[in-house]
Amino acid sequence: MKVYKVEVLIVDHDDLGPDEIQVVLENTRYPNHCMYPTVMKIESRDIGEWEDSHPINSMVTMEDTYNELFKK
């Protein structure tokens, strides 16, 4: 299974700001067209077979696992 890191450019028509943009991206289906995300870059990493216990599937370990997978 693969995971993807997607970098986007967002035109913030409603002056949402960075914190609210994260909330909108994660929780909204853009019904009012308040922003137009555009994928600018995408990277993938193979994480092997999926299991519910995978560290990407836990809010406690997700960030550290992400950082390890997508080291700069």
Strand, helix or coil for residue 60: coil
pTM: 0.72
Is the pLDDT at 30 greater than 80? The verdict is no
Is the pLDDT at 17 greater than 80? The verdict is yes
pLDDT-derived band at 18 (thresholds 50, 70, 90) equals confident
Domain boundaries, the chain: 2-69
Is the pLDDT at 29 greater than 90? The verdict is no
The per-residue pLDDT for range 32-72, each reduced to its tens digit, is 778 778 888 899 999 999 999 999 999 999 999 999 999 96
CA distances from 41 to 2, 48, 58, 64 (A): 16, 23, 25, 21
